[in-house]
Chain A
């Protein structure tokens, strides 16, 4: 039976995951591959040792992880395969297969231990097989197997499962060898992924359930807990902090949204309906299959309850498994999130095993509980077919999910090739500034941090170092720093290009369009033509599955919709100013904030922009009868896209009327801040001063803003960017996430910040807003200057 199961699992894993052999490197992989290149090809193996003494590959700006064992696994792959991504994916598939076999063996062992009176062997084998099969092909595993850096999940799970398996046998025969295997595996698991810190607690449960003797259990668990404490101390020393995890803005947003993510069961919903909605567009059939399977499962549970004589015996194991699930979830709290594209689903990798065991145990009947053999047989076969249906549907969905990674690989390599071709065609003195690189491709994570481009554009993945000829302007996913772009457009040594994600091609017209926009900055100032509005029903775009918000055609009386057509030549570096007045009949009525929303959306009916951009939303003051609002189109990436937009859609609350709409040069509406001195903008878009620079000097001007008597400067916290908190560069309030503020008494001039004011090597943003005599911020903050301040050997 064991061999049949192994062969079946091998066929399943092979069928589902074979497309991942064509997948490439992505996201964080582009930090690790160059690191391994330095360590193994350039002859610095001590860099591998550094993973034992410090953060994972020395990265401190995005996350603080301690995973030396995972890095050794990747190093072994680099040693064998070099830059050939297929080899890494093969190793991942093999790890996953090994984990599936271990899941089967552990399930078998647990179920045999659970049945003390007599062992229902057939049932144990059936449950274990179903659990292992679904574990193998659940679509949540696609990310863990297809993404090289998710090796941490595979390796961590591998050692965890070995440790649990050894513990199960040790609980029977008390062999010292098995105890040693358990401890060593545990240690390797700790060094693979932080999730494995829950392992000692899982083993505590295992031993207690086996022995039912708390003293004996605690005696056995002394060494594992001592190992855990020692490991946590070493980890804290290596990271410089006891916690770690995601840091900077990323970590902050995860921590801030923690309660929301825990109490909104979206993540569990994606576990049950694991469809990559970015890649699988027509998934109704698969969803229907899953729903039928869940109906059968629900019925089977009910029937088990009705016909079982001692259901509580099985329920004990279910309860324990569920408790283990909660334990694993507890350790994963910070990253407990899955997107609708299944990005982030690797958090379920190890957790799936106890969860599936928990469910299978109450679905598959036992001949010990159900004495009526005929009933038992019918329920068993029903459970088997329900399991097959689930496994079959999951395997197709998983295969499609893995194909998404393959498709993303093709697009990533095409992007790499096009950038290389572009740079090769440029004079050697020129650099290429790129914007709008895709953070997600076909639902899989890609270049969502500029630093990821480093590995993609330098050895060993390329023969030459192209990274130092690039300036990546994607420090934010949604907004652009128009001031930075305009400065670069005027630099003869820089060519600016835009990555069009819809046609996967570089658009090279952005630079000339920017320069032309600068020349035409005083043109096209006439107000735009305003037609009579149409009236529609308001959509809550956040929960709307219709991504084409612009195409909202549901008639209603909630919103008055205006369509504005700015001239094509005046669509770069311009903001929209709307003059609104409340209708007389509404002037004494107060609307709630939720009702008083202004929406501005772009015409993406021809899909020329980012696949997923929401409309701009603004809260209008609830008691304003007349107001002028600035819609900062100039900061929106989607407004910078290849072809000029046909028109804008502006949705107003029905109580407002649009009096006037103008397109205005954005420079006149915000302060200007620029870094003085010879400080180069690095490839990741951040200005990086030399170590010899002791103070940073800035030029600023907001004298053109009415009533501006001074300025307020804010410095962000380390690795935290203001944009991420509010979604806009044009904040109108000072941020509580600012590290420091500086008040300037003149509306224009020069100021300096000593480098010693920055507490640690990290990325920082500095931004400036004009203030009135009373100290009130006028208009909004301008475009920030993003800096990276690092000391040598500490990046």
Chain B
């Protein structure tokens, strides 16, 4: 039974509004409208592309392009970069850790270049005069005139003319030093460090293919003078990246899932801090030793001049 009461304007408008609402719901239940697809933010716009009139339909003519391709830089040192988990490794004070890392990392990457595995010399084919190969310090065994096994400690390897190449087998791989070059290699507590003291160009090659680096993706790299390659069987920590060994370092870049890293070091600080090089200095009569020291000193001066000394720091 419908109640009756005086119908005021407000009541009338209210009823109309509510009946309008009821109509809306009725429409929602019975209608099946066809709405045009809207240009929403998640779909491509719907437009009709214009017609293009073409004047000629000849076979494709030769296109005279002036240098259309974008040449890639030849010296792209591409060894899979990764984010560094510890920002203290990154130098600089920028808030943008990634960018900062990119800046420091890029400079570190300047000291490393990946090369094909085939570039690494085959130790079975080495020959020549071994007289120019000099190794001191650490624990190593001689396999033959050109190949040595290094297991632990610190060794200095120097290859001079008339010798051509020397290969050192290490726990994580091998290094090949061609003349003329001096390299300092350390292996302690599972951490391998290779310091290129004065080997220029592609004189020093490192192939990591054992332990954590075994597999098809094992890298073969060239390390530039003034740079240190660090490799480890576990992810490198800050302490391992910056050990308290008296050597000043800067520009770090962690590579290969945290097991490898490249950094720039101060050759002058190595000359002072390294025990093996200190032994060399104390050898008063060795001609080879004096020549090696002389070459390293000259390289230290060249690197200081070329790259500057800003940013090197040492853990106390």
Contacts and interface: CB of A to CB of B under 8 A. Distances in A.
Q: Do A and B come from one complex?
A: yes
Interface of A: 38, 41-44, 46-47, 50, 246, 250, 253-254, 257, 260-261, 264-266, 269, 272-273, 290-295, 297-299, 301-302, 304-309, 311-312, 315, 319, 335, 337-341, 343-344, 359, 362, 371-372, 424, 428-429, 439-440, 445, 448, 458-459, 463-465, 468-469, 476-478, 487, 490-491, 493, 521-522, 525, 542-543, 577, 579, 597-598, 612, 614, 616-621, 627-630, 632, 662, 664-665, 667-669, 672, 674-681, 687, 699, 701, 703-704, 706-707, 724-728, 730-733, 748-750, 778-780, 792-793
Contacts of B30: 291, 295
Given A674-B70, A699-B68, A301 B22 contact: yes
A665 B57 CA distance: 11
Contacts of B43: 339, 440, 477, 612
Contact of A464 (B21, B29, B54, B257): B257
A621 B49 contact: no
Secondary structure type dominating chain A contacts: mixed
B6 to A, nearest CB: 11
Interface in B1-24: 1-3, 5, 10-11, 14-15, 17-19, 21-23
A291 B87 contact: no
B50 A726 contact: yes
A459 B219 CA distance: 22
Contact of A628 (B3, B26, B45, B57): B57
B71 interface: yes
B82 interface: yes
A288 to B, nearest CB: 10
Contact of B11 (A312, A429, A617, A730): A312
A124 B206 CA distance: 79
B95 A298 contact: no
A253 B67 CA distance: 36
Nearest to B221: A428
B44 A477 contact: yes
Given A261-B38, A297-B25, A522-B60, A679 B49 contact: no
Contacts of B65: 672, 674, 699, 701
Contact of B23 (A298, A440, A732): A298
A738 B152 CA distance: 66
B40 A343 contact: yes
B33 A269 contact: yes
Nearest to B24: A298
Chain B contact residues (Cβ within 8 angstroms of A): what range? Answer: 35 or more
A209 to B, nearest CB: 17
B222 to A, nearest CB: 13
9 contacts: A42-B83, A42-B97, A463-B258, A464-B257, A493-B76, A667-B63, A677-B70, A701-B66, A748-B66
A672 B257 CA distance: 41
A439 B45 CA distance: 13
B47 interface: yes
Given A41-B85, A257-B39, A792-B96, A704 B64 contact: yes
A749 B76 CA distance: 29
B69 A487 contact: yes
Contact of B70 (A44, A311, A476, A675): A675
Contacts, number: 283
A792 B46 CA distance: 37
Contacts of B63: 667-668, 672, 701, 704
A732 B52 CA distance: 7
Contact of A294 (B1, B25, B78): B25
B18 A305 contact: yes
A47 B2 CA distance: 67
Contacts of A459: 82-83
Contacts of B41: 246, 250, 253-254, 335, 337, 344
B94 interface: yes
B37 interface: yes
Contact of B40 (A43, A47, A339, A730): A339
B42 A295 contact: no
B19 A302 contact: yes
Contacts of A543: 34-37
Contacts of A464: 80, 82, 257
A793 B47 contact: no
B69 A780 contact: no
B163 interface: no
B128 interface: no
B51 interface: yes
B60 A681 contact: no
